[in-house]
Structure formats: C-alpha cells, structure tokens
Amino acid sequence: MRGGERISGETVIGAAKNAVLPMMAAAILADTPSTFVHCPRIVDVESMRGILRCLGVESRWRDDSLVIDGSRIISGEMPEKLSKRVRSSIFLLGPILGRLRKAAVVYPGGCEIGLRPIDLHLNGLKRMGVEIREAGGVLHCDGSRMHAADIHLDYPSVGATENVMMAAVLTPGRTTISNAAREPEIENLQAYINAMGGSVQGAGSATVVIDGVSKVRGVSFSPMFDRIAAGTYLCAAAITGGEITLRGAEPRHLTAVTQKLREMGCRIEETPDSVSLRAPARLRAFDTLQTQPHPGFPTDMQSQMMALASVARGSSVIVENVFENRFALAGDLNCMGANIRVAGRAALVQGVERLNGIHARARDLRGGAALVLAALAAEGETVISDVHLIDRGYAKMEDTLSRLGADIRRVSLTD
C-alpha cells in the first residue's frame, strides 16, 4: 500500500465480532436453529464454525446471514488445534456445560497481547458446582451437579461474565453475577438470550441476574454493530486528514473514542444511527489516554490511537491498564520514523511530521489494523505481512479502504 491518499466517503458498519462469537456459542443452548443477520465473514467466525462442526453442530451461510443449528450437538470435547487458534473458543465452555453438563477444553489461543488468564471463567463455573480437573493441558469439566449461585468476579471480565451468563440460562434457580463487565456486547447477548426465551436482566450494569429456564428456542437476530471496526475507520479518516460517514453505527457506543478524536481536532456529527468525521490537515496530540473496562476507553482501540498520536502535533501519553503486551506496535511505528518511548504500561508519543513506509508484519489483530492506519499516512510503500491476524476481526479491510480512496491491495507471497 502507498500512503498519502485521503480517506473520504461513506461505509456501512457490519455486525461486531465481539458480539457474534458469544452468540454463536449461545446458539447451542437452543433446540432449534438461530439465524444471525449481517454476520461478518471473518476468520474468527469461520474458526468458531469449525469448532462447532467438531461438536456436531451444523452451520451454513445464507447470503449474509449465518444459520446455526445446535439441536444435534453430540460432543462437549473441543478440538485442540482450532481452539488454540481463537481466544473466543472459551465462550463455548459455559453453553456446553449448560446443554450437556460435561465438557473438555484446552486453553484457548488468540493474539499475543497478554496473559488473559481464564481463572475468572473457571472460578465462576466452580461456584455453580462444576468440578474441573486438568490433565495433559485439557480441562475436564463435570457439570452434573450444576446449580444456581451468587458469583462475584474479582475483575469485570467480559468473557467470564458472558460465560457464566450462558452456563446459567438452563440451570434451575437464580444466578447473580456481581462486578460484571458492562460492555455493550453483553447487553446484546442478553437481548439474544431473552429473545430465545431465556431470562436475563441487568446486562450493562455491574449486576446481572439470570433465572434458569427449562429450554430455549432458536431465533433470527441482528447482532449489534462493530464499534471497534467503526472506531478504526474513523481513525483512518482522521490520520489522513479526510472525512467519513459511518452508517449503522450508534454514537452512544463510540463516545470514548469520539471524545479523543474531538480532542485531536476532528469535527464529529452524529445521528441516532450514523457518525460523521471531518479531520484537520494535521491532528493535534491528546493529553492522556488510559484504557479501562467499559465505559472507559477500550483497549481494542489503543493501538489505533497510538498510530494517530505518532503523527499528531505535540506529545501524547498512553497508559495501557488491560493487556500488558499491547505496546509491541511502538517498535514498528518507530521503524517508520515515529518517536515513541515505552516504560512499563505507559508510552510517551512525540508526534512527528511524517512516517515512512516499511516492510512490517502484523503482530496481533488491533496492532495490525493500526499498522495499516500508519501506512495510510506514510510516505512511500508499506508492505504488511501476516494479514491473517487482521482478517480475524475485519472483513476485507483492504476493499473497504480502497473504496474510500486508499491506495491498497492484497497480494500473495508469489506476486
């Protein structure tokens, strides 16, 4: 790709990876098929389909909708290779136990951005009476004595909150999760479960209450828009001095990001289902950005904001409070001419006038997307390898950016 082109135009934001993946897991709770409308065709969705297939769960594409039939699930033993490929495989633990009362899982994979221990998931399930033993790297879970429970999470983990929610749907009695994560995707999962006939209340607050039901049925459901993809494309326009309108994006879920973009000099207009941004010729630095659980600034947007700060006028400070290894991008940006100093969980970014194109590789999903943003503003050509990591969360990102004016194309290693 070659930098220097302004990003300008409109694009439609599709369904969120972080909403769809737990819903795909929850679909196995139902005894009839569920249909997810406008489901993104990304690598993580296909990986999850592969895991479900190994459990006996059928799925198929119908235009841009994904149909999942969990009624024929025959196994609770997740395949090791596929499970290690995608972090979200852990979401299947709760619904498998809820449906079959027995599961065998390996520690999940995903991006190398930190430890991300699953202790919170396991401790919550243990509180519900699940017996867990480890043998040869496999967690064998016996839920034959599962029961409702009051569960306090030591940290408001999104995955642990959603896993316990799903495990409790078909478990008799009332399960309460306190210090629950409050991300919009959890509210969306609650809406899907309730549409199936479940009984969940409080998602989006610190306390979630699940009243167990005897059965749920599959439904047609439209998952929420991808707020991280939306934030990324807003940043693409911002870093190139461009302008963009995102259709299908709810401003209330983008407040933390748009507030920082306004601080950097961008003009932003909002309607109930769209966000428009017009960027200045050169961004100005923000003061301090600290990642926090929702409603704080999302860690999944930190790398993109580092790319913007690298070419902004002035100095910015970024503090990463969620994942300890999320500053690997700084080294790549410095190779492009940025001036970033990292000390522990903090980074000082002194903006430079321009970046230069290089050959680099995506190290993780969001860091890879941030490299693309930096390349949009860089002089010369940038070649990014390992783009399969970017494909985990963005459906044909190069096509979207090309339609918006970027000089970008995907090539094979033999081209």
CB-neighbour burial class of residue 348 (10 A; exposed 0-12, middle 13-18, buried 19+): middle
The helix-helix angle for 119-127 and 93-100 (nearest 10°) equals 20
DSSP notation for 202-268:
-BTBSEEEEE--S-B---EE-PPB-HHHHHHHHHHHHHTT-EEEEET--GGGSHHHHHHHHHTT-EE
What letter represents residue 284's amino acid? R
**Among the listed residues 189, 132, 127, the one whose alpha carbon sits nearest the alpha carbon of residue 158:** 189
**Is the distance from CB of 48 to CB of 23 less than 8 angstroms?**
no
**Among the listed residues 35, 31, 34, 27, the one whose alpha carbon sits nearest the alpha carbon of residue 52:** 27
Coil, helix or strand at residue 298: coil
**Is the distance from CB of 333 to CB of 318 less than 8 angstroms?**
no
What letter represents residue 344's amino acid? G
**Distance (Å, rounded) from C-alpha 303 to C-alpha 150?**
36
DSSP notation for 23-67:
HHHHGGGBSS-EEETT----HHHHHHHHHHHHTT-EEEEETTEEE
**Nearby residues of 242 by Cβ (< 8 Å), 6 or more positions away:** 6, 7, 8, 236, 279, 404, 405
**Among the listed residues 153, 155, 151, the one whose alpha carbon sits nearest the alpha carbon of residue 168:** 151
**Nearby residues of 44 by Cβ (< 8 Å), 6 or more positions away:** 17, 21, 86, 88, 392, 393
Length of the chain: 415
Which residues are known catalytic residues? 111
Cis, bond preceding 40 (omega within 30 deg of 0): no
**Is the distance from CB of 301 to CB of 257 less than 8 angstroms?**
yes
Neighbours of 135 (CB within 10 A): 8
